[in-house]
Amino acid sequence: MSQSSCKTIKTTCAYCGVGCGIEASVNETERQVLINGDDNHPANFGRLCSKGSSLGETIDVSSRLLTPYIGQQATDWNTALDAVASTFSQIIAEHGPDSVAIYGSGQLLTEDYYVANKLMKGFIGSANIDTNSRLCMSSAVSGHKRAFGTDTVPNCYDDLELADLVVITGSNMAWCHPISYQRIRAAKAKNPNMRVVVIDPRRTATCDIADLHLPLAGGSDVVLFNGLLNHLVNGQYLQQEYIDNHTQGFAEAVAAAQQDAGDLAEVALRTRLSERDLVTFYNWFAETDKVVTAYSQGVKQSSSGVDKVNSILNCHLATGRIGKPGAGPLSMTGQPNAMGGREVGGLATTLAAHMEFNIDGDTDRVARFWNAANMATKPGLPAVELFEAIAAGKIKAVWIMATNPVVSLPNADQVKAALQQCPFVVVSDCVANTDTLELAHIKLPAQGWSEKDGIVTNSERRLSHQRALLPPAGEAKPDWWIISQVGQRLGFKDAFNYQHQVEIFREHAALSGFENSSEQRLRDFDISAFANISQQQYEDFEPIQWPVNQQYPNGKERFFADGQFYTPNRKANFIALTGRAPGNLPDQEYPLVLNTGRLRDQWHTMTRSALAPRLNQHRPEPFVEVNPQDAAKYGLKDGHIAHLQSRWGQMYARVNVSESQVAGDVFVPMHWTEQYASKGRMGAVVNPVVDPVSGQPESKHTPIRIAPYQAEWHGFVLSRQPLPDAGIDYQVKVNCQGYLRYELAGYDQSSLSIDWVKQWLSQVYPALSWQYLDDAKLGLLRVAGYQGNSLMFVLCIATTPDIRMLPERNFLSSLFAKSQLQPDERLALLSGLPTAGAEDTGAQVCACFNVGEKTIRKAIRENGLTSYQEVGKCCKAGTNCGSCVPEIKTILASMVETQPA
């Protein structure tokens, strides 16, 4: 990139709720962006993880939705917006405001989110606007409101470093909030007194820094924390003055905890943990003043998610450890603007600016501020119910923005069917193809990260500016603009007459301060200091934690150490809790528990992360992780394919036999969709049970059965061009540097032949010279296609159930990366045997420097390396973001074990 045409722009990462600051060097003419961490951003101080640092690889426009579509027909904005507005109008006129809905996302910017909520709740007159945050944050929101009277995260990231005990529960922070995890790792290295406890049914990468790992039974968190509350009471570890002066309901909570978890042996039984480990954890918690409990989806995505949250908050309130440096509960938000969504009231059950339907005067207050034409007066439907109402025909038009519910909602085949029969589906997205866009009547192209511009708020309530780096792709528009245009066309010209997003931000800031001085009901969320922000100040916006008002012009790090809460009498509530079993339990027919979650290098439904070749190498295929005992019991072999089935749906995934999984539990990553894996859409399998208070689905606990998929053949193709669906059971696409890789498997091999290959591939490659090897005896079918001397594709199929008959993918990939092949390489290509000097680097471990497992093993062996730091010095692996350090340590450990004595 030439220096002269570069400009440097500060922005925030597109991905997780850590909210890291980025310094981007932008070359507009080449549409290239170089990504570096922003040294001054308080979330990351210059560090970025593998996802953040590869953002530059994801901004190509080739996969983007570039223009609006009505049906299959490209159209202009006016026509598309008119069609959206007139159809919504008509349906509202005929069936009332509750017959339409918006389904939004924590990946919208605050300004987008604010306008969507205003349109639906203030002007269309229904609260049927919910968001994917229902699947993500809603149990934390409800738990906070029950305890504090408001949805406030009391602590901040610095506390992760200041603590002497960090309890990480239901969170694979090493992969999902990598930079926060790195901060804990670094703090622990400096503070010998610091301990880390990880509570997770799986042994995850996060356990790498754990002094204690509690592999509790899925869903048993309330019992575990009720047991802790008992321990605190029995050992007199309470902060009695705080309890007496600033809380209520303590006696009832203790009585319930004693009833539920008074007997340690029973707690051990129900949590599947040993009494010794329980006592260790309880003692550490009791005896350490500075304790932070960081929690995420293992806590929230549960049919007792809200109770789990309150069981944690109970223990922090009982010890007065809340909102203090190094002490307090910290809910880690998932999406880049999950917190912003909570501020604007993006959930169907809340109002804007932390106001509530069920608090006297709030609905009227919002209505007056907006001068609302049709203020909604009651909560709308939460996500799972909202899609059930679509299926039932009660909701007849839905507008989906920045989320992919056909993949991410539970019982996703039902969701798909609901959208198929819904009379009017509008989808705003950045990319051209998703499983949800396929069902849209109207597609609207939204600006994505690197083009859109607005404010986001991270897990610690810190607002940051996400800035535009490049001009929009094609006709893409900001989401706030699209929504405002529809608002105007629905007849609300004045209310949606925004020219620039700063006008929306000012309005949002003003609403947060509206009737929010001490005479009225005080609300915690107050950024009224920005109500008159100039455009220049907005452009220069520096990261700051809310509240930002007259009292706190520079923001505020922590809440509640002073014991002042937002309930009517200002006291926090203890909640009396009883542990409940998950909604569906395994039985003879469905004997295993399916747990789902995230991988280090993929983001959700892969629409952005899978565009970066280096993020696809760590775990290229959908997989199911099973304990060796279960593998033996169900006849599953490592590396082969399994069929998973629940009462709701089915999927295929590759088997990964692993001790990190407890027998009886299996784990599947949430990421694959029909765009990448023909039958790997995991949402289809997941049960639609929800928490009764928050409505958040139980994504971590579905009874399933598993069986080997009896593939008669396996194979893969490396191809320059994308290939069509081959109509087989297992076809997985992997984007690589300059080409694509497809993994294939099928049941029926009778149709496998050179002719079949030609028929399939000539759709994409009509005129090539073909080279092939078809050896029925050896069970080999190999085909390569050349254009002149350039290799266009190579296909390798083993017509036997034995996957070892396939050549090494990494070696073939290295050949494929070359544009021209020598004769010996052409031969090697079909034989699958490495040419002299070619090196097989093995499966990728370090995404930042693309270092493979075999390279690392070789470096260790040849240089006698004993620590991950030495490995880093030798081959760079693990020296950038550090997310692969746990894996490097596992490799080191395995090599120590296998070394001859």
Nearest of 652, 643, 649, 653 to residue 686 by alpha carbon? 649
Q: Please, which residue, 603 or 652, has the CB nearer to ligand SF4?
A: 603
**Residue 399: how many other CB atoms lie within 10 Å:** 26
Taking CB under 6 A as the binding criterion, the range among 172-180, 246-254, 681-689, 787-795 that sits at the site for ligand SF4 is 172-180
Question: Can you give the length of the chain in residues?
Answer: 901
The binding track of 50-69 with respect to ligand SF4, each residue x by CB under 6 A or -, is -xx-----------------
Tokens standing for residue 170: 């239901």
178 binds ligand SF4 (CB under 6 A): yes
- The least distance separating Mo ion from the CB of residue 697, rounded to whole angstroms, comes to 11
Please work out the total of residues on this chain that contact Mo ion, with binding judged by CB under 5 A. 2
Question: Which does residue 10 touch among Mo ion, ligand SF4, ligand MGD, none (CB within 5 to 8 A, set by kind)?
Answer: none
Q: Which is nearer to ligand MGD, 448 or 807 (CB)?
A: 448
Residue number, 177 or 231, with CB nearest to ligand SF4: 177
Binding test (CB under 6 A) with ligand SF4, winner from 10, 11, 16, 460: 16
Q: What is the DSSP-derived secondary structure letter of residue 323?
A: S
- Closer residue to ligand MGD (CB): 483 or 791: 483
Interface map 776-815 toward ligand SF4 (x if CB under 6 A): ----------------------------------------
- Tell me, by CB under 6 A, how many residues bind ligand SF4: 14
Which lies closer to ligand MGD via its Cβ, residue 296 or residue 549? 296
731, 719 Cβ separation under 8 angstroms: no
Site string (123-142) toward Mo ion, x via CB under 5 A: -------------x------
When binding is defined by CB under 6 A, the residue of 19, 122, 695, 886 that contacts ligand SF4 is 19
Helix axes 885-898, 868-875, angle to 10 degrees: 110
Please give the radius of gyration of the chain, using alpha carbons only, rounded to the nearest integer. 27
- Which distant-in-sequence residues (6+ apart) come within 8 Å of 786 by Cβ? 768, 769, 770, 771, 792
Residue 459 binding ligand SF4, by CB under 6 A: no
Q: What phi and psi, each to the nearest 5 degrees, are found at residue 224?
A: -60, -45
First to last CA, the chain: 52
HSE value, Cβ hemisphere, 13 Å, CA-based, for 773? 19
Give Cβ neighbours of residue 360 (< 8 Å, ≥ 6 apart).
none
CB of 334 to Mo ion, least distance (A): 3
Q: Using the minimum distance from each CB to ligand MGD, give the nearer residue, 271 or 363.
A: 271
Rounded CA-CA distance 355/358 in Å is 9
Q: Per DSSP, which regions of 309-396 are E strands?
A: 328-331
Backbone CA torsion sign across 831, 837, 841, 847: negative
Which of 151, 601 has the CB closer to ligand SF4?
601
Chain positions contacting ligand MGD, by CB under 6 A:
16, 105, 107, 132, 135-136, 169-173, 175-176, 199-202, 204, 216, 218-219, 221, 296-299, 301-302, 334-335, 401-405, 407-408, 428-431, 434, 446, 448, 452, 479, 595-598, 600, 602-605, 607, 670, 682-683, 686, 699-700
CB 617, CB 847: distance < 8 Å: yes
434 binds, among ligand MGD, ligand SF4, Mo ion, none (CB under 5 to 8 A by kind): ligand MGD
Q: Encoding tokens for residue 388?
A: 């059930």
> What single letter denotes the amino acid at residue 756?
W
Q: Are strands 129-131 and 454-457 parallel, antiparallel or unpaired?
A: unpaired
Task: Give me the sign of the Cα torsion angle 359, 361, 362, 367.
Answer: positive
**Which residues lie across from 74 on neighbouring strands?**
69
Looking at residues 179 to 198 of the shown chain, list those that interact with ligand SF4 (rule: CB under 6 A). 179
- 3-class secondary structure, 162: helix
Based on the shown chain and the rule CB under 6 A, indicate whether residue 610 belongs to the binding site for ligand SF4: no
Q: How far is the CB of 224 from ligand MGD (least distance, A)?
A: 8
CB of 44 to ligand SF4, least distance (A): 6
Compare residues 187 and 395 and give the one whose CB is closer to ligand SF4: 187
Task: Pick the piece of the chain touching ligand SF4 (CB under 6 A) from 46-54, 83-91, 523-531, 732-740.
Answer: 46-54
> Per CB under 6 A, does 44 bind ligand SF4?
yes
Distance in angstroms (rounded) separating the CA atoms of residues 202 and 272:
13
Instruction: Tell me how far, at minimum, the Cβ of 875 lies from ligand SF4, in Å.
Output: 23
Q: Which of 26, 33, 35, 49 binds ligand SF4 (CB under 6 A)?
A: 49
CA dist 180 and 848 (Å) reads 18
| Piece in contact with ligand SF4 (CB under 6 A), picked from 18-26, 149-157, 465-473, 815-823 | 18-26
- Per partner kind, with CB cut-offs from 5 to 8 A, the member of ligand MGD, ligand SF4, Mo ion, none near residue 298 is ligand MGD
20 binds ligand SF4 (CB under 6 A): yes
Site for Mo ion in 295-334 (CB under 5 A): 334
- Residue corresponding to tokens 């001790």: 659
Residue type, 211: D
> In this complex, which beta carbon is closest to ligand SF4, that of residue 12 or of residue 226?
12
Report the SS3 class of residue 214. strand
Contact status: 597 vs Mo ion (CB under 5 A) = no
The option from Mo ion, ligand MGD, ligand SF4, none interacting with 595 (CB < 5 to 8 A, set by class) reads ligand MGD
Alpha-carbon distance of 836 to 417, in angstroms, equals 54
Q: Which residues contact 729 (CB under 8 A, 6 or more apart)?
A: 652, 678, 679, 709, 711, 745, 746, 747
Q: Is the four-CA dihedral 364, 366, 368, 370 of positive or negative sign?
A: negative
| Of positions 11, 15, 335, 733, contacts ligand SF4 by CB under 6 A | 15
By the criterion CB under 5 A, which residues form the site for Mo ion? Answer: 136, 334
By the criterion CB under 6 A, which residues form the site for ligand SF4? Answer: 13, 15-16, 18-20, 44, 48-49, 51-52, 177-179
